[in-house]
Amino acid sequence: MTQSDQNDIATLDIQIVADVVCPWCVIGSRHLLLALEDLRDELRADITWQPFQLNPHIAAEGENLSEHIMRKYGSGPEDNQAMRDRLTEMGRAAGFRFNFTPESRTYNSFDAHRAIHWAGVQGRQHDFVEQLFQAYFTENRNPSALETLTDAAVALGLDTAELEAVINGDQYRQEVEQALAASQARGISGVPTFIINQKYAMTGGQPVDVFKRTLRQVVKE
C-alpha cells in the first residue's frame, strides 16, 4: 500500500461504552478488534472507552458472582453454568481466557473507571482496559483494588505513584460521573455499546462479520 492509499483510508471514531466486570464487553471488544484487523486496508479507528456501571451499589468487597446473577436475573445454577461455558468458549475463540470459579466475585467498578480515565490521559487507555479484563476475568482479582490497578500500570510502564494519588483522592471522579450520566442520557442501558462517529450504535457481543459489515456501511455513508 502506498502512502497515498494510506492517506485515503477512512478513520472512524468508535466509543466503547463498557464495564470491566462485563464478560460481553470482552467478547464484543475482541470481535471489534478482529474486524478492524481484517479491514486494516480499508479503514482505521480511534477507540475511546467510556464508563458504565453494572453494579454501582455493590460494596467494596464485592459479591459472589453466582449468587449475584441468581438474585439479579433469577437464573438457576444450571443456566449460570451454561452461560459460563458459552462465554469461556467464545473467549477462547477470540483469544481470551475466562476463568470462572465458584469463588468468582463481581465488584463496584467506579475506581477502575477512574483509573481507565487516567490511563487515557497517558495515551494507554485501551491497553489498560485489557490489563483489567485479564486481572478480573482470568486472575479473579478486584479490578477496582489499588493493587490491581497499580499492577496494571506497572505492566504498561506507567507512573504508579501518580495513579495511587488519583485513586486515593477524588481526581477524575467528576469526569467519570459526567460520562456515566451522558450514557444514561443517551438511553444506554446495557453494555457493550459501540458508538460509531457519534451517529450509529451497536450493542452486545456481535460476531466479527457483523462488525465488518456495519463498519463498511458507515464508511460508505
Q: What pLDDT shows up at residue 75?
A: 86
Mean pLDDT of all residues in 11-23: 98
Residue 2 pLDDT > 80: no
What's the CATH fold of domain 3-62+108-212? Glutaredoxin (3.40.30)
Distance of alpha carbon 213 from alpha carbon 29, whole angstroms: 16
For 158-213, what is each residue's pLDDT tens digit?
A: 999 999 999 999 999 999 999 999 999 999 999 999 999 999 999 999 999 999 99
Helix extents (H) in the chain: 3-8, 23-38, 65-73, 77-93, 110-121, 125-133, 146-155, 160-168, 173-185, 208-220
Distance of alpha carbon 66 from alpha carbon 64, whole angstroms: 6
Q: What pLDDT shows up at residue 221?
A: 86
Cis before residue 143, ω within 30 degrees of 0?
no
For 59-85, what is each residue's pLDDT tens digit?
A: 989 999 999 999 988 988 999 999 999
For 122-150, what is each residue's pLDDT tens digit?
A: 999 999 999 999 999 999 999 999 999 99
Distance of alpha carbon 106 from alpha carbon 152, whole angstroms: 19
Residue 3 pLDDT > 50: no
H or E element that contains 51? strand 43-51
Of 75, 145, 156, 76, residue with least CA distance to 105: 145
H or E element that contains 44? strand 43-51
Query: What is the domain partition of the chain in residue ranges?
Result: 3-62+108-212
Q: How confident is the model at residue 8 (pLDDT cuts 50, 70, 90)?
A: confident
pTM of the model as a whole: 0.94
Alpha carbon 58 to its chain centroid, in Å, reads: 19
- In contact, 185 and 12? CB cutoff 8 Å: no
Neighbours of 88 (CB within 10 A): 17
